[in-house]
């Protein structure tokens, strides 16, 4: 789904200097919403709600990206690559809080899933609490946070 221009924004690049542990101090977060909400209006509302939840979780610059070529010093995305983009510090507390928030949002929406990429690590989450997904989330958080 392509959102109206009024709902899409550009996203600043996440190219912060590396921290002492060899991981970036800021990583890019790409969120892709899967499943069906029924219509484009519901999907748009879901994306706006997810952007708000990410911001409330402490993620910087959570935005609905501009599809196509970005303006200078901003970040765009190819159509279908990401529905929400953001910058975040890859810390255990913040990444854990973001995933917990997303899983909570998904819990009431069994027809939905989220493909989440932070830096070069990716995971698909469903919100359905299962031991297998819990283990995958724990491994994902460790990878993103550099084993903190």
Concatenating the DSSP letter of every residue in 24-80 gives: BSSEEEEEEEEE--SSHHHHHHHHHHHHHHHHHTT-EEEEPBEESSPPTT-BEE-TT
Range of the domain at 29: 5-144
pLDDT at 17: 38
Give me the pLDDT at residue 37, please: 67
Residue 73 backbone phi and psi in degrees, to 5: 65, 20
Give helix 40-56 / helix 92-107 axis angle, nearest 10°. Answer: 150
Give the pLDDT band (50/70/90) at residue 142. very high
- Counted domains in the chain: 1
pLDDT tens digits, 12-54: 444 333 444 555 689 999 999 998 767 778 888 999 999 999 9
């Amino acid at each position: 789904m392509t959102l109206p221009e009024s709902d899409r924004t550009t996203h600043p690049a996440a190219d912060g200097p590396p921290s002492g542990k060899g991981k970036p101090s800021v990583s890019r977060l790409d969120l892709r919403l899967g499943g069906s909400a029924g219509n484009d209006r519901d999907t748009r509302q879901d994306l706006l709600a997810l952007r708000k939840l990410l911001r409330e979780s402490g993620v910087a610059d959570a935005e609905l990206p501009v599809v196509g070529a970005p303006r200078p010093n901003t970040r765009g995305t190819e159509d279908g690559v990401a529905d929400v983009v953001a910058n975040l510090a890859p810390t255990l507390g913040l990444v854990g809080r973001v995933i917990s928030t997303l899983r909570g949002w998904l819990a009431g929406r069994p027809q939905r899933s989220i493909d989440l990429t932070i830096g070069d690590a990716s995971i698909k989450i469903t919100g359905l609490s299962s031991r297998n997904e819990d283990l995958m989330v724990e491994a994902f958080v460790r990878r993103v946070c550099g084993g903190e």
